[in-house]
Amino acid sequence: MIRLDKLLSNLGYGSRKEIQYIAWSGAITHKGEVLKDVSMKVEPEDILINDEKIDASKLIIVMNKPKGFICSHNDSAKLIYSLLPTRWQQRNPKISTIGRLDIDTSGVILLTDDGNLNHALTSPKKNITKIYEVELASALRGDEVEIFNSGEMMLKGESKPCLPSKLTIKDSHHATVELTEGRYHQVKRMFGYVGNRVVSLHRSGFANIKVDDLKEGEFKIITYDDIKV
Ligand code: URA
**212 class by beta-carbon count within 10 Å (0-12 exposed, 13-18 middle, 19+ buried):** exposed
Which atom of ligand 1 sits closest to the CA of residue 185? 3
Is 102 assigned a catalytic role?
yes
Distance CA 185, CA 208 (A): 22
Given 102, 104, 143, 225, which residue is catalytic? 102
Distance CA 130, CA 3 (A): 41
- Compute the average pLDDT of residues 85-97: 96
Q: What is the pTM of this model?
A: 0.94
Each residue's pLDDT tens digit, 28-76: 999 999 999 999 999 999 999 999 999 989 999 999 999 999 999 998 9
Q: How far is the CA of 99 from the centre of ligand 1 (A)?
A: 10
185 within ligand 1 shell (Cβ under 6 A): yes
Each residue's pLDDT tens digit, 207-225: 999 999 999 999 999 999 9
Of 22, 47, 14, the C-alpha closest to 33 is 47
Q: Do residues 42 and 6 touch, judged by C-beta distance below 8 A?
A: no
Average pLDDT, whole number, for the chain?
97
pLDDT at 31: 97
132 Cα distance to chain centroid: 15
pLDDT at 108: 98
Non-local CB neighbours of 216 within 8 Å, separated by 6+ positions: 64, 65, 66, 106
Each residue's pLDDT tens digit, 109-145: 999 999 999 999 999 899 999 999 999 999 999 999 9
138 Cα distance to chain centroid: 31
How many Cβ atoms from other residues are within 10 Å of residue 222's Cβ? 15
The residue length of the chain stands at 229
Paired residues of 62 in beta bridges: 110, 220
For the chain, strand residue ranges (E) read 2-3, 28-30, 33-34, 41-42, 47-49, 52-53, 60-65, 96-97, 105-112, 130-136, 166-171, 174-179, 198-206, 209-210, 219-221
Helices (H) and strands (E) in the chain, counts: 6, 15
105 within ligand 1 shell (Cβ under 6 A): yes
Each residue's pLDDT tens digit, 139-184: 999 999 999 999 999 999 999 999 999 999 999 999 999 999 999 9
